[in-house]
Amino acid sequence: MSELKINKDYKNWLIDLKSKIKNRQIKAAIKVNNELINLYWEIGAMIVEKQEKAKWGSGLIEQIAKDLRREFPNLTGFSRANLYSMKQFYSFYNQEDKIVYQLGGQLENNKNEILHQLGAKLDNTNSLQILTQIPWRHNVVIIQKIKNIKEALFYVAETIENNWSRSILEYQIETNLFNRQGKAISNFKNTLPEPESDLAQQLLKDPYNFDFLTLTKRAKEKDLEQKLIQHISQFLLELGKGFAYMGRQFLLKVGNSEFKTDLLFYHTKLRAYIVIELKMTKFEPEFAGKLNFYTTAINELLKNKEDKPTIGILLCKSKDNIVVDFALKDINKPIGVSEFSYNELPEEVKNYLPSEQQFKNELNKI
């Protein structure tokens, strides 16, 4: 047998082979998950039916768990807790007189199709198949933490769209994404064509949750900016899918003057630059004017023909929504305004803590 020559053609062929195997593995995993959740749905339905009609006593789930473990000792998933979750899963999406409607045009692309299929009770095969697109433990998290069906379906659709892990799903629920997403005040409907305006609106949250930061009351914009970049992973998670970080204090040369934006991003789905300005104070109308200038400059200096109009996001410590609405009415560039929150460290506590440089010096001594 002659020795195989590892050349470029073989390497390319091997990449294709690996890709096919991975794709099949993913499809197999999805099929297994689909069958598993369908089975759990049916078991949940059978338990609910027997508890309502049969007079078998209150220990039905405990007895089922014992009998199934005895019959299938090598199979997991039939514990008392998981059987109770199956019952809860079926019961949650079959609440009497609870009809699930579409969430309007809030969610783009395939999420509209997802929610269209979920336009009625989840008592038919097509609707149930949507729930099989996320893992069982994701479904359990949702039904345990959410009481409202419409909100639950929002998190199902977001999980499918963004491929969230269970920990990220829990984080998004705990930070109340459902009630924050798309809630910021903007002029997008007047400055962007549809469906870009709807998609851009859904990118915004109000308020943004920066609880991964700890700042003092006297912190300034540069302090917030620096901390956000130090925690860029959490920051990007809070911003949402599609944000690509371009830089901080991005230099813009206009005429004989130089200007610097706080933070610059590019959104891969909108295909647009997004400039974010940070204010540690209450919103003032002049903030919108300055951000309008930055978006104009980026459109002229950075934007390519293929790029969509630059979007400005202004993050303030607080705002008066009526003042914001008035300030944005006559601005012709797309701008959104939101509040943000973070953990506040009392100044007197900070005085007892070593500075970053002092901490580094002590580490060097050690």
Q: Give tens-digit pLDDT for 280-339.
A: 999 999 999 999 999 999 999 999 999 999 999 999 999 999 999 999 999 999 999 999
DSSP state of 120: S
- The H or E element that residue 309 is part of is strand 308-318
Residues with Cβ < 8 Å from 55, sequence gap 6 or more?
Answer: none
Token pair of 357 as six digits: 């440089």
Per-residue model confidence (pLDDT) at position 120: 41
Burial class (CB in 10 A: 0-12, 13-18, 19+), 206: buried
Split at pLDDT 50, 70, 90, the class of 63 is confident
Neighbours of 341 (CB within 10 A): 14
CATH number for 182-350 (one of 3.40.1350.10, 3.40.50.1110, 3.40.50.300, 3.90.1300.10): it is 3.40.1350.10
**Could you tell me the sign of the dihedral formed by the alpha carbons of 199, 205, 211, 217, in that order?**
positive
- Which 3-state string (H, E, C) describes 253-303? EECCEEEEEEEEEEECCCCEEEEEEEEEEECCHHHHHHHHHHHHHHHHHCC
Where along the chain do its domains lie? Answer: 10-179, 182-350
User: In sequence order, which ranges of the chain are alpha helices (DSSP H)?
Assistant: 8-53, 60-71, 80-92, 110-117, 125-131, 136-145, 149-162, 166-174, 177-180, 188-191, 196-203, 221-230, 232-239, 285-301, 321-328, 347-350, 356-365
Q: Which of 162, 185, 188, 183 is nearest to 106 (CA)?
A: 183
**Strand partners of residue 248:** 263
Write the pLDDT tens digit of every residue in 174-203. 999 999 999 999 999 999 998 899 999 999
Long-range contacts of 202-206 (CB under 8 A, 24+ apart): 202/106, 202/107, 202/108, 203/239, 203/240, 203/242, 203/267, 203/270, 204/313, 204/336, 204/338, 205/177, 205/180, 205/181, 205/238, 205/240, 205/338, 206/180, 206/338, 206/339
- How far is the C-alpha of 198 from the C-alpha of 26, rounded, in Å? 32
pLDDT recorded at residue 101: 38
Question: Average pLDDT for residues 239-253, to the nearest whole number?
Answer: 94
Please say if the pLDDT value at position 30 is more than 90. no
State how far the Cα of 272 lies from the Cα of 243, in Å rounded to an integer: 10
Burial of 306 by CB count in 10 Å (0-12 exposed, 13-18 middle, 19+ buried)? exposed
Q: What is the distance, to the nearest Å, from the Cα of residue 110 to the centroid of all Cα atoms in its chain?
A: 16
What is the average per-residue pLDDT within 65-94? 90
Looking at residue 325, the DSSP 8-state letter turns out to be H
Distance CA 229, CA 120 (A): 44
Rounded percentage of the chain residues whose pLDDT exceeds 70:
81
pLDDT of residue 59: 81
Greater pLDDT, 106 or 173: 173
